[in-house]
């Protein structure tokens, strides 16, 4: 079989691919950008790919596809909902399966799983109606991070320095669906570790002039810095990569994703969250880490796609 015949056979084997993008979550615009980048790369490879926006097309239409490349960020795409739909339709898809996607999307459950597994994550309290905010501040100290547990891209998050600010931030975060937690603030350096298959890619250190790495710092600020190499020695980086991989696998995640963590001033690491459908634009962190590992964007997209074929979920 010559190379051209093998290539044609591979393209046919991959079949018709739905690039799931857009959706109705708060991260819709970022998803559309990520999806467009992935779609263009698949088309450059000669694959039969087309965009599929669940906000504009009936979900039942997915049954006509041979596999799906999920680039839906947030609710409806990263939380197990779309994974469940695709499994019911018997359509292979990229990334983590239903349960792992749901767990990783839920910051509260992720942290509970990590605590049960003995992995380090900042102490936290669930904010509920009637709870004593002053007592929570006494237990965790100040400042605190307030987080809606099921939002991505730092949406609804706030750093607070007083009990009253905690109350106000809770009210804002409560406008989003799901629960809200207050998490002990970690003073130190923030890193992200991209996971591709069984491999942790080179780490990236994030530096921002903002109070924390918020939505604006991620998507519009011009002074946010992404350092890769991250500045750690090889042994320190290896240890944190192993921790990130453990955090990823503890939740049952697979295929690809990204683990965010911090290292405090005493050198202790703290796990923050796992993203099972990270950004895939030319400015996103996973493509940046892949490039540092010697993989161009096409190779990254192909590796993610082929993992869906091999695993079949």
From the candidates 22, 27, 151, 183, which is the catalytic residue?
27
From the candidates 151, 213, 279, 284, which is the catalytic residue?
279
66 is catalytic: no
CA 190 – CA 206 distance, rounded (Å) = 6
226 is catalytic: no
258 is catalytic: yes
CA 81 – CA 101 distance, rounded (Å) = 9
106 is catalytic: no
273 is catalytic: yes
Tokens of 91: 């359509």
From the candidates 35, 258, 308, 313, which is the catalytic residue?
258
DSSP bridge pairs for 263:
189, 269
From the candidates 179, 254, 260, 308, which is the catalytic residue?
260
From the candidates 80, 273, 284, 308, which is the catalytic residue?
273
From the candidates 48, 176, 219, 309, which is the catalytic residue?
219
79 is catalytic: no
**Nearest of 24, 87, 93, 52 to residue 276 by alpha carbon:** 93
Residues 32, 2: contact at Cβ < 8 Å? Answer: no
**CA torsion angle 186 153 75 143 (round to 10):** 30
Look at phi and psi of residue 267 and say left if phi exceeds 0, alpha if psi is from -120 to 50, else beta: left
Burial environment of residue 127 by CB neighbours within 10 A (0 to 12, 13 to 18, 19 or more): buried
Q: Active-site residues: which are they?
A: 27, 153, 219, 258, 260, 273, 275, 279
């Amino acid at each position: 079989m010559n190379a051209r015949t093998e290539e044609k056979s591979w393209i046919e084997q991959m079949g018709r691919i739905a690039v799931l993008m857009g959706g109705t979550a708060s991260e819709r615009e970022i998803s559309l950008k990520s999806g467009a980048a992935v779609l263009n790369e698949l088309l450059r490879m000669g694959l039969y790919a087309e965009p599929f926006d669940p906000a504009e097309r009936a979900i039942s239409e997915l049954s006509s596809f041979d596999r799906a490349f999920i680039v839906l960020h947030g609710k409806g795409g990263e939380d197990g909902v779309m994974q469940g739909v695709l499994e019911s339709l018997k359509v292979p898809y990229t990334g983590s399966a239903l349960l792992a996607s749901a767990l990783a999307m839920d910051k509260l459950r992720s942290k509970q799983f990590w605590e049960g597994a003995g992995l380090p994550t900042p102490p936290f309290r669930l904010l509920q109606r009637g709870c004593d905010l002053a007592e929570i501040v006494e237990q965790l100290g100040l400042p605190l991070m307030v987080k809606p547990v099921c939002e991505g891209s730092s949406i609804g998050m706030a750093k607070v320095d007083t009990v009253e600010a905690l109350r106000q931030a809770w009210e804002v975060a409560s406008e989003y669906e799901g629960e809200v937690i207050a998490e002990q603030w970690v003073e130190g350096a923030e890193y992200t570790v991209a996971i591709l298959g069984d491999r942790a890619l080179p780490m990236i250190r994030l530096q921002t002039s903002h109070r924390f790495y918020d939505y604006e710092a991620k998507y519009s600020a011009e002074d946010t810095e992404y350092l890769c190499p991250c500045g750690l020695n090889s042994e320190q980086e290896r240890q944190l990569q192993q921790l990130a991989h453990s955090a990823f696998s503890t939740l049952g995640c697979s295929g690809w994703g990204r683990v965010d963590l911090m290292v405090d001033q005493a050198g202790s690491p703290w796990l923050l969250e796992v993203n099972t459908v990270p950004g895939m634009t030319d400015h996103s962190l996973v493509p940046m880490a892949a490039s540092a590992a010697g993989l161009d964007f096409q190779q990254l997209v192909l590796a993610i796609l082929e993992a869906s074929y091999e695993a079949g979920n």
